[in-house]
Chain A
């Protein structure tokens, strides 16, 4: 029997989703790159935020660095900073080791909650990405010019306070995404997978359609950032339709940029490592 107290309109409708304006299509395509990079890495690397890494860094330096060193390589034969672990298949395994230690070794259990342990893992993963990305060729300034000019990336993306908030903010993409994966995904994209980049389209009772990026939804309400970058909440009972959809797939970037241009673009992207603390002179 049907559920009570729920608006039947909250059932997702099978409506095609259109988010970026056609003139911005090229920008939208690039916007999917970050999304896709995440998809490729998802098997081994959980999705983390810059705040996770920062908190993980704090926890690691306060609790782990005494033995492992700030770079994670102070214990002979153990290097935590390059994403290769002898005892862990997945991030969940790593979380487990952080929390419970390794019996029969000097590695003690840590008094961390699961989210705290995941933040430590986020920090270790970011160390690994940073290590690979430090060796990328190309010119970051030329890459930035491509990103902001010919690539029209800012029409969907945002970097350090400039550009659109509707696609993923790439200000710290270099902390999470390996250069090799970014390059692959620019030229051989697949389907995006990260649900936090999902789109939503709602139709209000009076027929108005509003589209945006889905921020959250529950049985009664829905939160989005709409196409004009306004934060909005809707009562589902006041909606005729709700459609949650993945962003459109990205066509290949191959041929749209030269190999050298892609190298520069990747070099620029990996240089983006987030907001750093300002130091007064």
Chain B
């Protein structure tokens, strides 16, 4: 059965490779899983499971996986982009904003487009980019100076360029946009600068803005009452990880970042909607349909910047349209994605700031667990139990896979903070609870009891841990699963590896020589399956030895 499926997929892949390259229509994006040789959106499909139906690489033969080519970027910034692959052509971004088109089989360059960001750009945490979207013959890239640029996918020439927001005020785009119908949806980073975050949709042909949704409720918006005084004006609420889309309800789902100032909520009494929330918007109008706030009145920098993973599963006996979410705040959640109803929340790592939930899914806070001038020990620490790194859901194993920071804590410090436009608006900080090594040396001296990185496999029906794959250092790597029950990931140690998705057993590894800080993806060219991932300053493509 499985080999027949494989043969079918490969035969189709060969046919596609031989065919004339066609435009990427919205219909193709809707059915991206029907052309598994391509990778058409940031997370693979609108469900964002980061799951590839390709099966040529198996647990039995993965030991024969070898690098086929390496693209060395001319950038020392973190390489966080997930490439797109369309009919044998790969598109990726060399940080901060150089678009590259490569032959996906050989790694040879077709063209490069260098966007020069303004010197006013001030992204908080690296001059990075996480990838692009494609529709028709156009690629769409957000830039660190707050622009959205459309680029001709055939020759790398810019077609239109719009500025969404002012980079000098801290607005920056690092997220891969999402296409829905004829629109490009994108949001802005800058949650450490007291921005007022938003999502916006643009006509893909013209760049004309179609709608804008502010992630910070202002005057006239429901939720305005969750911000004391004028604090909404500098409320943060950044968008820096790509959302998902459900065509059945025409809803697009996005995770919203932290409130500002990050670590001092004194001047923003209230829940601070819609920070640290998932928002469900009508994709045509940007109208809010529902929201769920994971971390009300956050003071721990717990951005809800995780990829919303959509899955149709049985829930307590009946089929249900679900959203699976492992949050930076340490809890794993199951939500009803039609209504936003909270169904389950359970810690997937050590958590001490909240204990359980009320009937509406609001976390029960633990008294005293707030930032203080002296510092308060909080689990998970500032980077979270997980962060922006893509998780994966395999419909075959039924497991949800989380890149996790285990036993990780920070001392949260609160300080007074005045707002100055364009300057960091933190109100404190988070100190490491374990000794820090040399700043510019990447060696790892960590002991296990000081926290470790892991892939944690969770049963979404129960939230129970099924298995764990431990690393000695933390991880910023996403997870890919495949229909042959393989799991690919990496970590700060500089390995890229394959696990058995059912057991967590290590099956293969390769030294990529730098931290994996991106999500892996899979594609095929001429019947040959590849797995690609960025690590260090390079992009690697692997395939089976021929």
Contacts and interface: CB of A to CB of B under 8 A. Distances in A.
Interface of A: 1-6, 10-12, 42, 46-49, 51-52, 89-90, 92, 96, 99-100, 102-104, 108-109, 111, 113-115, 118-119, 122, 193-196, 198, 214-220, 244
B71 interface: no
Contacts of A51: 440
Interface in B495-521: 495, 499-500, 503-507, 509
A11 B495 CA distance: 20
Centre residue among A1, A89, A214 by max chain B CB count within 10 A: A1
B439 A47 contact: yes
Contacts of B2: none
Given A5-B469, A218-B471, A218-B493, A12 B447 contact: yes
B473 A218 contact: yes
A104 B421 CA distance: 9
A3 B454 contact: yes
A89 B428 CA distance: 10
A198 B445 contact: yes
Contact of B122 (A48, A109, A244): A109
Contact of B444 (A52, A109, A218): A218
Interface in B391-448: 415, 420-424, 429, 434-441, 443-448
B122 A99 contact: yes
Contacts of A115: 439-440
Contacts of A108: 119
B526 interface: no
Given A100-B122, A219-B493, A4 B439 contact: no
Given A6-B470, A100-B424, A195 B465 contact: no
Contact of B423 (A10, A48, A100, A198): A100
A109 B120 contact: yes
Given A4-B500, A220-B509, A118 B440 contact: yes
Nearest to B500: A4
Contact of A5 (B437, B440, B506): B506
Nearest to A236: B472
Nearest to B450: A195
A104 B507 CA distance: 56
Nearest to A52: B440
Centre residue among A5, A48, A217 by max chain B CB count within 10 A: A5
Per DSSP, are chain B's interface residues mostly helix, strand or loop, or mixed?
loop
A52 B465 CA distance: 43
A87 B148 CA distance: 34
Contacts of B449: 12
A258 to B, nearest CB: 33
Centre residue among A4, A90, A108, A194 by max chain B CB count within 10 A: A4
A43 B60 CA distance: 51
A278 B139 CA distance: 54
A103 B422 contact: yes
Contacts of B469: 3-6
A118 B439 contact: yes
B77 interface: yes
Contacts of B509: 220
Interface string B96-137: 000000000000000000000001101000110000000000
Contact of B421 (A42, A103, A113): A103
Contacts of A102: 423
A4 B467 contact: yes
19 contacts: A3-B469, A4-B469, A5-B507, A12-B449, A48-B440, A90-B429, A103-B421, A109-B119, A109-B122, A114-B126, A122-B439, A194-B437, A195-B434, A195-B435, A195-B436, A195-B446, A196-B437, A216-B444, A216-B445
B437 A47 contact: yes
B76 interface: yes
A111 B424 CA distance: 17
Centre residue among B76, B440, B503, B505 by max chain A CB count within 10 A: B440
Contacts of B507: 5
Given A195-B445, A216-B445, A217-B444, A4 B504 contact: yes
A46 B504 CA distance: 38
B494 interface: yes
B466 interface: yes
B468 interface: yes
A262 B326 CA distance: 56
Contact of A4 (B76, B421, B506): B506
A2 B469 CA distance: 8
A6 B499 CA distance: 12
- The 7 A-B residue pairs whose C-beta atoms are closest, nearest first, are A5-B506, A195-B445, A4-B505, A218-B493, A216-B443, A3-B470, A4-B504
A89 to B, nearest CB: 7
A261 B242 CA distance: 64
Contacts of A244: 445, 447
Contacts of A1: 465-468, 504
B385 to A, nearest CB: 17
Interface in B34-87: 76-77
A96 B168 CA distance: 14
Given A100-B122, A195-B435, A219 B471 contact: yes
B415 A89 contact: yes
Given A3-B504, A219-B495, 10 more contacts: A6-B469, A42-B436, A48-B440, A96-B424, A109-B119, A111-B119, A193-B435, A194-B437, A198-B445, A217-B445
Interface string B213-236: 000000000000000000000000
A177 B127 CA distance: 33
A15 B76 CA distance: 41
Contacts of A92: 429
B499 A4 contact: yes
A271 to B, nearest CB: 23
A47 B472 contact: no
A218 B473 CA distance: 7
Nearest to A4: B505
Contacts of B505: 4-5
A103 B420 contact: yes
A3 B122 CA distance: 40
